[in-house]
Amino acid sequence: MSSSPVALKKTPLNAKHRASGARMVEFGGWDMPVEYSGITDEHLAVRTRAGLFDVSHMGQIELAGADALAAVQWMTSNDASRLAIGQVQYSALTTDQGTFVDDVLVYRMADDHYLLVVNAGNIVKDHEWIVGQAKSRGGDVAVVNSSSRYALIALQGPAAQEILQTLTGVDLAAIKYYWFATGEVASVRATISRTGYTGEDGFEIFVAPAMAEKVWDAILAAGRQVDVRPAGLGARDTLRLEACMRLCGSDMDEHVSVLEAGLGWIVGWKKDDFMGAERLRAQKAGALERKLAAFEMRDRAIARHGHPVLRDGAPCGVVTSGTQTPFLKKAIGFAMVPVEVAVPGTPLTIEIRGRLVNAEVVPEPFYKRPKPSATGA
Report the residue number, 34 or 215, with the smaller CB distance to other proteins: 34
CA distances to 16, 90, 264, 271 from 277, in Å: 44, 17, 12, 10
Q: How far is the CB of 38 from other proteins (least distance, A)?
A: 5
Report the residue number, 147 or 321, with the smaller CB distance to other proteins: 321
Q: How far is the CB of 6 from other proteins (least distance, A)?
A: 24
The C-alpha atoms of residue 232 and residue 126 are separated, in whole angstroms, by 25
Q: Classify residue 301 by its DSSP letter.
A: -
Report the residue number, 300 or 371, with the smaller CB distance to other proteins: 300
Q: Are 66 and 140 in contact (CB under 8 A)?
A: yes
Report the residue number, 185 or 357, with the smaller CB distance to other proteins: 357
Select the residue interacting with other proteins from 99, 147, 320, 323 (CB under 8 A).
323
Tell me which H or E stretch contains 26. strand 23-27
Q: Is 170 left (phi over 0), alpha (psi -120 to 50) or beta?
A: beta
Burial of residue 210 (number of CB atoms within 10 Å: 0-12, 13-18, 19+): exposed
Q: How far is the CB of 233 from other proteins (least distance, A)?
A: 9
Size of interface with other proteins, in residues (CB under 8 A): 19
Select the residue interacting with other proteins from 1, 19, 289, 300 (CB under 8 A).
300
Residues 196-255, interacting with other proteins (CB under 8 A)? 234, 237-238
Residues 17-46, interacting with other proteins (CB under 8 A)? 23, 34-35, 38-41
Q: How far is the CB of 359 from other proteins (least distance, A)?
A: 15
Q: How far is the CB of 53 from other proteins (least distance, A)?
A: 16
Give long-range contacts, CB 8 A cutoff, 24+ apart: 266-269: 266/77, 266/78, 266/89, 266/90, 266/91, 266/92, 267/77, 267/78, 268/73, 268/77, 268/78, 268/79, 268/80, 268/81, 268/82
Q: Classify residue 173 by its DSSP letter.
A: G
Does residue 109 touch other proteins according to CB under 8 A?
Answer: no
Q: Are 345 and 359 in contact (CB under 8 A)?
A: no
Exposure string for 16-44, b = 16+ CB within 10 A, e = fewer: bbeeeebebbebbbbbbbbbbbbbbebbb
Select the residue interacting with other proteins from 104, 115, 185, 301 (CB under 8 A).
301
Residues 339-358, interacting with other proteins (CB under 8 A)? 353
The C-alpha atoms of residue 81 and residue 90 are separated, in whole angstroms, by 13
Q: Are 277 and 258 in contact (CB under 8 A)?
A: no
Q: H/E/C letters for each residue in 349-365?
A: EEEECCEEEEEEECCCC
Region of 154-162, 164-172, 265-273, 294-302 interacting with other proteins (CB under 8 A): 294-302
Report the residue number, 134 or 241, with the smaller CB distance to other proteins: 241
Report the residue number, 91 or 238, with the smaller CB distance to other proteins: 238
Does residue 304 touch other proteins according to CB under 8 A?
Answer: yes
Report the residue number, 316 or 331, with the smaller CB distance to other proteins: 331
Q: Are 87 and 72 in contact (CB under 8 A)?
A: no
Report the residue number, 23 or 311, with the smaller CB distance to other proteins: 23
Does residue 302 touch other proteins according to CB under 8 A?
Answer: yes
Region of 61-69, 209-217, 279-287, 320-328 interacting with other proteins (CB under 8 A): 320-328
Q: How far is the CB of 324 from other proteins (least distance, A)?
A: 4
**Binding residues for other proteins (CB under 8 A):** 23, 34-35, 38-41, 234, 237-238, 300-302, 304, 323-324, 326, 331, 353
